[in-house]
Structure 1
Amino acid sequence: MRSKTHNYMANINLKFVLICLAFLFLIFLILRSSYQSPLTTTSPSNNSTDYEAQSKSSSTDCPTIDIPPPTTPTCNKISPSLAEAMVHYATSNVTPQQTKKEVSVSLRVLQRKSPCNFLVFGLGLDSLMWTALNHGGRTVFLEEDKSWIDQITRQLPSLESYHVVYNTKVTEADELMEIGMREHCKDVVDPRQSKCELALKGLPNEVYDIDWDLIMVDAPTGYFDGAPGRMTAIYTAGLMARNREEGDTDVFVHDVNRVVEDKFSKAFLCEGYLVEQENRIRHFTIPSHRARSETPFCP
């Protein structure tokens, strides 16, 4: 009984020792892993350094793209003259005197020269259009009918127009053509100082003082014998163009399908200065003659 008890106790001690050793070995493993952990992991500072190095490397390999900040859309207003023209023609049944192709002849010049000085013989249904197309410039209308001026300016007060008195009739066209062929009518001077009977002398002074870039002759009335006709308007437009300080003047004559407009435009604006004709409108480009006094009246 005693040896069995001794053996039993020895077995118990051996098991206890083994358990303690196993426990200690487990603790050793745990402590070892906890001590190795900070040695095997990379510190945040090292990560940051590596990231910066990679960034520098990538920046040299790939170009950076600057993305512009988003822009705020702007609202640009159209010009008052254009707005007025759009509303006027959209809400009325009026039809301009010139066709689309005829208007395009003057439009091409205005697109190149405007804003500029634009003189128009005649105040008509297309006057607001001319003012809008010459936005920022000065557009002046000369009209024979004072009551018509009053009517139009009440509706469209922004138009600049002046009353002009004509002392001629269509029936006098042949006589005036003979007069225009005389030498004193070839003198290039201010119309107010001209001795030619075709020169208009009753216009406002500022009309004579301005160098006009464009002149449109679409008046006075010329479709019946008792009407004033456009003989003096055509001659005076040509004289103004030649008498400017320098540069060219684009002169347009409408209704050249009629005898007076046809003959007088060819004679006093000169076929040598004719640039274009579209249906009933002719376009002349007349250079200044003041800088070259030897320049002939017609080339």
Structure 2
Amino acid sequence: MRPKGNQAFNIKVLLLGVFIAFFLLFLLRSSLSLSSEQTPTPILQTISAKANNCSSACNKIPGSLAQALIHYTTSAITPQQTLKEISVSAKVLEKKSPCNFLVFGLGHDSLMWSTLNYGGRTIFLEEDQNWIEQIRRQFPMLESYHVAYDSKVNQADNLMYVGQGPECTAVGDPQYSMCQLALKGLPSEVYDIKWDLIMVDAPTGYYEEAPGRMTAIYTAGMMARNQEDGETDVFVHDVNRVVEDKFSMTFLCQGYMKKQEGRLRHFKIPSHRYSMGMPFCP
């Protein structure tokens, strides 16, 4: 019987040893697995590094903004508008951008307006083709179009009279208007886009034979009224001059004026498109 008892004992010891070995192996594998989770693999390290690099790249200022900062820091030419005048439009633009911004005029402040509307669409309308080419060589990223004006400052009184007629107070698309004040030769996208802001700082209007801003002011007001809905902020510069003063108050309406700062007036014009009984001016 003893030999049998010793054999049974040996088997039990062997089984116990195998169990202990498997248990130790399990603990070792668990430890290695936990260690691998805590220590990133080379692939995870690479992904993490790329993510960090992306984050730092995303925090950089856009190239167009950098270019604008460098340009205005090194340029001796300053925009025609004063700091206080610019601040009026910039404050509205800050709330609405990125948005659609139409500017009558192409000047030394154009890069600034385009940059302040970063991510939106800013279009400049200019009367001088040579000036457009000059600005394009310097700032090719600006979107500008040539516009021909067939009016003159010395015709302002007559155009003011014409503007009181029913064909000029009827709300509609300016490109199909029967009103003599409506600009009909603008690029098609200018009529199709819903503008959030419109600034009238052109064409030239400081002498009798200059085109004057009569038609630009009128057309800006009609674009705003013809929008599907909402309100359009319209700014007119140089309101110290007779034409800009009278035409802005008449066709953008004193009742829609929100503020005047220096030579700049700010109007907020609501859509008239589906309000048949709405008066031309409040």
Tell me the TM-score normalised to structure 1 length.
Answer: 0.75
In structure 1, the residue matched to 2:14 is none
* 1:247 maps to 2:239: no
State the partner residue of 1:216: 199
Aligned to 1:101: 84
Q: Helix, strand or coil: the match of 1:283?
A: strand
Structure 2 unmatched runs, 5+ = 1-51
List aligned pairs for 1:70-109, cutoff 5 A.
Answer: 74-75=55-56, 76-109=59-92
Partner of 1:116: 99
Question: Is the counterpart of residue 161 in structure 1 residue 144 in structure 2?
Answer: yes
Read off the aligned partner of 1:85 and give its amino acid letter: A
Residue 8 of structure 1 is matched in structure 2 by none
Which position in structure 1 is the counterpart of 2:29? none
Choose the corresponding residue for 1:200, options 178, 183, 186.
Answer: 183
Alpha-carbon distance between aligned partners in 2 of 1:248 and 1:81, rounded to the nearest angstrom: 29
Could you tell me how far apart the structure 2 residues matched to 1:295 and 1:81 are? 42
Q: What's the % identity of the aligned pairs? A: 69
Q: What pairs with 1:157-196 in structure 2 (closer than 5 Å)?
A: 157-196=140-179
Could you tell me whether the CA contact under 8 Å between 1:81 and 1:131 is conserved in 2?
no
Residue number in structure 1 paired with 2:266: 283
User: Cα distance, 1:291 vs. partner?
Assistant: 2.3
How far apart are the structure 2 equivalents of 1:116 and 1:203?
A: 20
Q: Which whole-Å deviations, capped at 9, do the CAs of 1:48-98 have from their partners, x for residues lacking one? A: xxxxxxxxxxxxxxxxxxxxxxxx794211122211111111221111010
**What is the CA distance between 1:285 and its match in structure 2?**
0.1
**Do the aligned partners of 1:115 and 1:137 also contact (CA within 8 Å) in 2?**
yes
Q: Which amino acid aligns with 1:84?
A: Q
Query: Looking at CA atoms only, which structure, 1 or 2, has the larger radius of gyration?
Result: 1
- Aligned runs of 1:17-32 on 2, under 5 Å? none
Cα distance in 1 between the residues matched to 2:239 and 2:185:
25
Which contiguous aligned blocks of 4+ residues in structure 1 show a shift greater than 3 angstroms? none
Q: CA deviation at 1:104?
A: 0.4
Deviation digits for residues 243-281 of structure 1 (CA, Å, limit 9, x no counterpart): 011100000000000000000000000000000000000
Which of 238, 258, 261 is equivalent to 2:221?
238
SS in 2 for 1:245: coil
What is the aligned partner in structure 1 of residue 208 from structure 2?
225
Alignment of 1:34-53 (within 5 A): none
Q: Specify the code of the residue in structure 1 equivalent to 2:129.
A: K
Determine the structure 2 residue equivalent to 1:42.
none
Maintained 8 Å contact 1:169/1:225: yes
Which whole-Å CA distance do the structure 1 matches of 2:245 and 2:62 have between them? 37
Task: Provide TM-score, normalisation by structure 2.
Answer: 0.80
- Aligned positions, number: 229
Secondary structure in 1 aligned to 2:103?
A: strand
2:240 & 2:96 partners in 1: Cα distance?
27
Partner residue of 2:130 out of 141, 147, 157: 147
Indicate the RMSD between aligned Cα atoms, in angstroms.
1.2
Structure 2 counterpart of 1:127, one-letter code: S
1:264 corresponding residue in structure 2: 247
Opposite residue 235 of structure 1, the aligned amino acid is Y
What is the CA–CA distance in structure 1 between the aligned matches of 2:136 and 2:79, rounded to whole Å?
Answer: 17
User: What's the secondary structure of 2:95's corresponding residue?
Assistant: helix
Name the aligned partner's letter for residue 190 of structure 1: D
Q: Any stretches of 5+ residues in structure 1 without a counterpart?
A: 1-71
SS at match of 1:140: strand
The CA distance in 2 between the partners of 1:84 and 1:261, in whole Å, is 33
Amino acid in the other structure paired with 1:172: Q
Give CA-to-partner distance per residue, 1:199-255, whole Å, 9 cap, x none. Answer: 000000000000100000000000011100000000000000000111000000000
The amino acid of 2:148's aligned partner reads V
Question: What residue is the counterpart of 1:129 in the other structure?
Answer: 112
Q: Secondary structure at the match of 2:107?
A: coil
